[in-house]
Amino acid sequence: MKKFVQSLINGVAIALIASMVFTAFPATSNAALVQLPPLPYDYAALAPSIDAETMQLHHDKHHATYVTNLNAALEKYPALQKQSVESLLQNLDQIPEDVRKTIQNNGGGHVNHSMFWTIMKPDGGGKPTGTLATAIQSTFGSYEAFQEKFNQAGANQFGSGWVWLVMNPQKQLQIISTANQDNPLMQGLYPVMGNDVWEHAYYLTYRNRRADYLKSWWNVVNWAEIEKRFVSSASY
Q: How far is the CB of 59 from Fe ion (least distance, A)?
A: 9
Question: Following DSSP, what letter does each residue of 16-42 receive, concatenated?
Answer: HHHHHHHT-TT--SBGGG--PPPPSS-
**SS3 of 197, please?**
coil
Q: How far is the CB of 100 from Fe ion (least distance, A)?
A: 21
Closer residue to Fe ion (CB): 133 or 155: 155
Closer residue to Fe ion (CB): 22 or 198: 198
Closer residue to Fe ion (CB): 150 or 198: 198
Taking CA atoms, 12 is separated from 8, 37, 129, in Å, by: 6, 22, 38
Stretch that binds Fe ion, among 73-81, 161-169, 188-196, 227-235 (CB under 5 A): 188-196
CA 153 to chain CA centroid, Å, is 18
Within 104-123, the residues that bind Fe ion by CB under 5 A are: none
Region of 125 please: left (phi>0), alpha (psi -120 to 50) or beta.
left
Closer residue to Fe ion (CB): 108 or 128: 108
Distance CA 151, CA 211 (A): 7
**What element of type H or E holds 206?**
helix 203-206
Closer residue to Fe ion (CB): 128 or 194: 194
Stretch that binds Fe ion, among 38-46, 77-85, 149-157, 194-202 (CB under 5 A): 194-202
Distance CA 103, CA 100 (A): 5
Taking CA atoms, 125 is separated from 108, 147, 149, 157, 175, in Å, by: 26, 12, 17, 23, 19
SS3 of the chain: helix, strand, coil, percent, to 5? 60, 10, 30
- Contact between 196 and Fe ion per CB under 5 A: yes
Closer residue to Fe ion (CB): 182 or 196: 196
Q: How far is the CB of 179 from Fe ion (least distance, A)?
A: 13
Closer residue to Fe ion (CB): 62 or 137: 62
Distance CA 228, CA 175 (A): 18
Within 60-89, the residues that bind Fe ion by CB under 5 A are: none
Residue, CB closest to Fe ion: 196
Stretch that binds Fe ion, among 34-42, 72-80, 198-206, 207-215 (CB under 5 A): 198-206
x-or-dash string of contact with Fe ion, 142-181, rule CB under 5 A? ----------------------------------------
Q: How far is the CB of 191 from Fe ion (least distance, A)?
A: 14
Which residues make up the interface to Fe ion (CB under 5 A)?
196, 198
